[in-house]
Structure 1
Amino acid sequence: MEHARPLPTYLVHRYHGWKATAYAENQAWYRRLAEDGQHPRAMMISCCDSRVHVTSIFGADQGEFFIHRNIANLVPPHKPDGQQHGTSAAVEYAVTALKVAHVIVMGHSNCGGVQGCLDMCTGKAPALEEKSSFVGRWMDILRPGYERVRDIADESQQRSALEKEAVVVSLENLMTFPFVAEAVKAGTLTLHGLWHEIGEGGVEQYSHSTGGFVPI
């Protein structure tokens, strides 16, 4: 592939630093992970935003989380149409092959994807309405959430509410997957919804009893 180039120097230096310290000090653990395979207890579905670092937030080590990241931490509804569905494939693998005990969806503050959905749904981003827009068609998943917050007048409050709706919509869509619904019913899988406030370092969780998010 002629367009591929060597890594930037700063990344090469960081790798060698990691290999000489973190890896060298835990070499037996890494080799065990390689030989025994992965057995994560939880799947984490989070935004691909570079500011959201779920392993750091929860102090997770290698092998603890099966992580899937996408724009606005969305899970589409179950749709086995023969097309390519990266998120659905990741969910299927986590639940049916890895047998994770928890699937966690974590949204966050100041989400650019959610802002894009707001702009698209209010007519401020015509480019996202184009059929050729991958981002726009992905954000269509969140339209039901937008309908629930469209009457909020304050723009900041509306975006925050829609960020949390992205989590709720994803939880709702997870339950449309038969293997997820069966595992939840059997008590072998639990679903969790989180929202992370980047600036303050806070994390809130979805509460079914209140229908909203509460600090953990």
Structure 2
Amino acid sequence: MKEHVRPLPSYLTNRYHGWRATTYTENRPWYRRLADAGQHPRAMVISCCDSRVHVTSIFGADEGEFFIHRNIANLVPPYNPDGDHHGTSAAIEYAVRNLKVAHVIVLGHSQCGGVAGCHAMCSGHAPELDEKTSFVGTWLDLLRPGFERVKDKPETERVTALEREAVVISLENLLTFPFVRAAVEAGDMSLHGLWNDIGEGMLWQFNPESKIFEPI
């Protein structure tokens, strides 16, 4: 392993030293309090791995406010305690049962590469994603029911509609987790679905009554 693991590139180490000399030093008591008191986030955010989706910046959040889990296309799988590894499910369980967050937010976004890949796969244009050896394809198969819902829309609208279906399907799957449903029905926690238009800086919120996304 030693010939493959290397020191951080200099631009990252320089940024770290700059952060520690300024932001950390100026707020040292706050960071020590965070370390000593443990984390008590009010919300969990499930967002995409996409580097353009910066959750803390969008909401102006400080350290300790959000418990953030990121994955390809901000998807939540259905509850399935089959003994396999489930990173997203484990994060949800920890947030709800241990941290007792008051809100779980699913945050989708525009120009999502994962959703575009799912659209291509379901349309028969990405056979490599249908291979059993593709981790990405297997993961994106969670969104296949969403493709079935939007496949008859005009082609120009389909991918954006599928990005929003990724949020809706994740909300639906969240409620298959017994401890999530119990917390929601007890009034201890609420679920929220958002879609971020990266280029316009807009947030749209899913309305479960009208079943459409409305600008915030």
Q: Which TM class, normalised by the smaller chain length?
A: over 0.9
Which structure 1 residue ranges, 4+ long, deviate > 2 Å from structure 2? none
> In structure 2, the residue corresponding to 1:127 is in which secondary structure?
helix
Q: Measure how far apart 1:208 and its partner are.
A: 1.1
Deviation readout 1:53-110 (Å, 9 max, x if unpaired): 0000000000000000000000000000000000000000000000000000000000
Question: Counterpart of 2:163 in structure 1: which amino acid?
Answer: E
Q: Are 2:158 and 1:158 equivalent residues in the alignment?
A: yes
| Identity across matched positions, percent | 69
State the TM-score, normalizing by the size of structure 1. Answer: 0.99
> In structure 1, the residue corresponding to 2:78 is in which secondary structure?
coil
Deviation readout 1:123-180 (Å, 9 max, x if unpaired): 000000000100000001001111100101223x100000000000000000000000
Residue of structure 1 in register with 2:78 after alignment? 77
Question: Counterpart of 1:199 in structure 2: which amino acid?
Answer: G
> In structure 2, the residue corresponding to 1:213 is in which secondary structure?
strand
> In structure 2, the residue corresponding to 1:183 is in which secondary structure?
helix
Residue of structure 2 in register with 1:195 after alignment? 195
Question: Distance in 1 between the 2:144 and 2:212 partners?
Answer: 19
Unaligned runs of 5+ in 1: none
Question: Distance in 2 between the 1:172 and 1:108 partners?
Answer: 18
> In structure 2, the residue corresponding to 1:88 is in which secondary structure?
helix
Question: Distance in 2 between the 1:44 and 1:37 partners?
Answer: 18
Question: Counterpart of 1:120 in structure 2: which amino acid?
Answer: M
Residue of structure 2 in register with 1:119 after alignment? 120
Unaligned runs of 5+ in 2: none
Question: Counterpart of 1:37 in structure 2: which amino acid?
Answer: G
Question: Distance in 1 between the 2:154 and 2:55 partners?
Answer: 32
RMSD between aligned alpha carbons? 0.5
Question: Distance in 2 between the 1:211 and 1:129 partners?
Answer: 30
Q: Measure how far apart 1:210 and its partner are.
A: 1.1
State the TM-score, normalizing by the size of structure 2. Answer: 0.99
